[in-house]
Amino acid sequence: MPLVKVLVVDDSSLMRRLISRLLEEDKDIKVIGTAADGLEAIQQIKALRPDVVSMDVEMPKLDGIATLRRVMLECPVPVVMLSAHTHEGARATMEALSAGAVDFVPKPGKSAELPIMVADLKTKIKVAARVSLRRIGRPTPVRPAARPIIKPAEPAPPVVSARKQPYCGKIDLVVIGCSTGGPAALQQIIPYLPANLPAGVVVVQHIPVGFSKSMAEHLDKKSAINVRHAEEGDEIKPGRVLVCPAGYDLNFKPRGNGATVTLSNFGQPLAPGGFRPSVDRVMKSAAEVYGCRAMGVLLTGMGKDGARGMLAIKQQGGLTIAEHESTCVVYGMPKAAVDLGAAQKIVPLPQIAQEIQAAFY
């Protein structure tokens, strides 16, 4: 791949030096400058034109979120945030993702963990370098009026439908899976769902441990529908969104005509290339318990997680939707589902909330 030019922004001179040195151990990355605060970062971005910016959330003069908002207005560039592993840090990270950051990396608690963090940062910088600027920095939607279907605000590519599959005409569970770009994409779906949606919703987002609860809280504040961080034994209910806790496998346990949530395997080793929570695992469990009463929705993300789970839902007669390439930050997971023949509809992001509601109204 072409050399990725990076600007490192951090208020700690030690962190700037260490991150820069470790990043440049990768032959595909070149650090072309550093900045100690948000105001200097904006000047350097305009002067140096980096491909990607690595930016600390907490900085003097102009913090990372305020800086990011100005960058997206004045000199748009893909940004990967460095986030404190605290509750406040997690909340700030969600704000940064809303403001247009492509992704984030949690800062290490110990200096010995820095190389691991930078290895993750390298991967995310390379992904960010391939992201189209028109797909980042989209404004967060305001809470919609209480009407059943929201029309997209601007023209979008048409919905692509595969051959229709018969289904039982009643959806009781919607599973939404996503990875890179997911937190921002979810803000164009969840706040547009009505409080009285006649089905439960489960969100599976690839996110570091310690950040999924803040994402749930962030979505809840913006939405009419209730959003909460899933806990052991939670019941799947109409009008409720459950966000899978990072680091746990989530399955459904039948209960009457519905199901409850079971959580397991926190802290256990993952298979190479695996995820916890896994979109595949959650969707396959939904297909087993709900059958044709399940809907699978796959959004932006790197890799293939979710494709086989979505296929399982389709094979049971449920409904399946994949995000259209034109609106994906990373067209990986939806593409895998489309290539596998698992997606019945391929829909631009601004229309997905409408498509979900179309199953009920």
Q: Could you give the residue numbers annotated as active site?
A: 179, 206, 305
Distance CA 82, CA 21 (A): 16
Three-class DSSP category at 359: coil
Q: Is the distance from CB of 318 to CB of 287 less than 8 angstroms? A: yes
| Amino acid at residue number 333 | M
Q: Do the beta carbons of residue 207 and residue 215 sit within 8 Å?
A: yes
Coil, helix or strand at residue 113: helix
Going by the DSSP 8-state scheme, the letter that residue 144 receives in this structure is P
Phi, psi (degrees; rounded to nearest 5) at 349 = -50, -45
* Cβ partners under 8 Å of residue 315, min gap 6: 287
Q: From CA 234, how far away is CA 231, in angstroms rounded?
A: 6
* Rounded alpha-carbon distances, angstroms, from residue 197 to 33, 225, 231, 333: 49, 8, 21, 26
Torsion of the alpha carbons at 306, 86, 248 and 230, rounded to the nearest 10: -90
Closest CA to 348 of 333, 327, 320, 330: 327
Cis peptide before 115, with omega less than 30 degrees from 0? no
DSSP-derived letter for residue 190 is G
